[in-house]
Structure 1
């Protein structure tokens, strides 16, 4: 039995954070301080040190498609409770379907923000599902900006990838995910997606392929933690094993945690304590926060 209405619980959870809208697709999330809380209660705008704060380590979080804010906050707390800020970069299906007018523009926004970020505080990545594709688009653009690439190569000290998707395997995986009990419907969905990828090769598919090439072959060399499930039909273990092999060849120190039974981007929900332990141990190895 709930002691409080669900809406009250969610409101209390949101009050733990301070939000700053950076752009249409990006939001800065910080732990709410007592001073910020008092100003919010008084209806005042938080200014000065309370609003800007000391330059703290920043986690660039790349959620899955259509992730809601309350979903993102569950993961953001892993970092804000330990003294890190989180920049949530959201994606929706339209960004994926039209990369040149969607995902690539979001990647440009993200890199512009990072380029103008003051100070030298360390950065981290935590991506989910197609967040890997979005970061691949960012890597494509970074290759054309050597100075920014050099800066981020120094400042990005770690990366966590949860259920990273290889888009070449997406048709079969999505079909099994949507219709797990019907092979006939799986075949229909798989054929539909494959037809789309073929018909819109210039507008979409070639961008997916280039992003994948950079994500696999030209990554930042900071240590990586991959979080997977053998039951995930979309971010498959086999695809991520190829990613691990490529990253190790490139010189990325890579470790992996594989669960059984959890669905796509569902590891935290099913194995919360283990998931948190993996992230906290990773932060300790990087020397970040008060983990």
Structure 2
């Protein structure tokens, strides 16, 4: 199927672990969307948080060219990727399980944006039950300096200094023109991820994990975004790790990070259980 065209990893827990944590209810499927340049060995450390809780996990990181080039020029390549990721749920027959997202940085959030849009508009996915989402070090908006830092870190030390300089200059000019100077016009053709999700947010609960020490995503961008979601009635929680770097909260505070992820997922599952109980009671009363 189409899902075979993208490079993802899926892990199923053993039955005993799932039963111990979820006691007869369907275990959640956690979809982790990595940051730009994220290696799977790094993303797998996050998925282990959920595997140890008896969850199914799907890991995927969008290619660099898609995040930094396609999105910058308004080419919606990530929408096709989002479609394929959702189709994986049907490939493995877990579409009736509770769905939970864990996204990282703008690279993961850009893809999350298209998933949200598909869940809003595509009848094929109308029966999917999303219970919540954790957003780590995102979203950011109109921050050219932060984007350049992200690209510099992603390119790494192996690329030649001359090529790195050329790529950074081209990227900076493109982002500045299309996403800042011309954005009042180009947004009618292609909104950025920040505005798209903010304008039409999903209803499920969100938990934002960020840090005021982040040099890539401004903490004010995150705080403004989550306040907007609150005003639109979305259940929102957040935690500022204060001192950890961009997508470094788990590395610097592993126990606290793991506990927060665990507690939020459990709270989302309890909310789902309560909603389903009310539905059954409503049906029985009629």
TM-score if structure 1 supplies the norm length? 0.70
TM-score if structure 2 supplies the norm length? 0.71
Write the deviation string for residues 35-75 of structure 1: whole angstroms up to 9, x where unpaired: xxxxxxxxxxxxxxxxxxx9632001101112112111110
2:119 & 2:14 partners in 1: Cα distance? 33
Matches within 5 A, 1:191-210: 192-197=170-175, 206=187, 209-210=191-192
Q: Does 1:76 align with 2:53?
A: no
Query: Are 1:221 and 1:250, in contact at CA under 8 Å, matched by a contact in 2?
Result: no
Q: Does 1:98 align with 2:70?
A: yes
Q: Does 1:133 align with 2:110?
A: yes
More divergent stretch after superposition (263-272 vs 159-168): 159-168
Aligned residue pairs, count: 236
Query: Are 2:26 and 2:98, in contact at CA under 8 Å, matched by a contact in 1?
Result: no
User: Residue 98 and residue 138 in structure 1: after superposition, are their counterparts in 2 closer, same or farther (change >3 A)?
Assistant: same
1:241 & 1:141 partners in 2: Cα distance? 25
- 1:107 counterpart residue number: 82
Q: Does 1:63 align with 2:34?
A: yes
Matching residue within 166, 170, 181 for 2:140: 166
2:88 & 2:135 partners in 1: Cα distance? 21
User: Residue 236 and residue 160 in structure 1: after superposition, are their counterparts in 2 closer, same or farther (change >3 A)?
Assistant: same
Deviation at 1:269, TM superposition (A): 0.2
User: Residue 276 and residue 120 in structure 1: after superposition, are their counterparts in 2 closer, same or farther (change >3 A)?
Assistant: same
Query: Are 2:137 and 2:209, in contact at CA under 8 Å, matched by a contact in 1?
Result: yes
2:4 & 2:224 partners in 1: Cα distance? 35
1:233 & 1:243 partners in 2: Cα distance? 18
Matches within 5 A, 1:218-229: 218-229=200-211
2:130 & 2:232 partners in 1: Cα distance? 16
Unpaired segments of 5 or more residues in structure 1?
1-20, 35-53, 180-187
- 1:185 counterpart residue number: none
User: Residue 208 and residue 131 in structure 1: after superposition, are their counterparts in 2 closer, same or farther (change >3 A)?
Assistant: farther
Query: Are 1:60 and 1:87, in contact at CA under 8 Å, matched by a contact in 2?
Result: yes
Matches within 5 A, 1:14-25: 22-25=4-7
Query: Are 1:128 and 1:163, in contact at CA under 8 Å, matched by a contact in 2?
Result: yes
User: Residue 161 and residue 33 in structure 1: after superposition, are their counterparts in 2 closer, same or farther (change >3 A)?
Assistant: same
2:222 & 2:53 partners in 1: Cα distance? 29
Q: Does 1:230 align with 2:212?
A: yes
User: Residue 172 and residue 274 in structure 1: after superposition, are their counterparts in 2 closer, same or farther (change >3 A)?
Assistant: same
2:262 & 2:121 partners in 1: Cα distance? 34
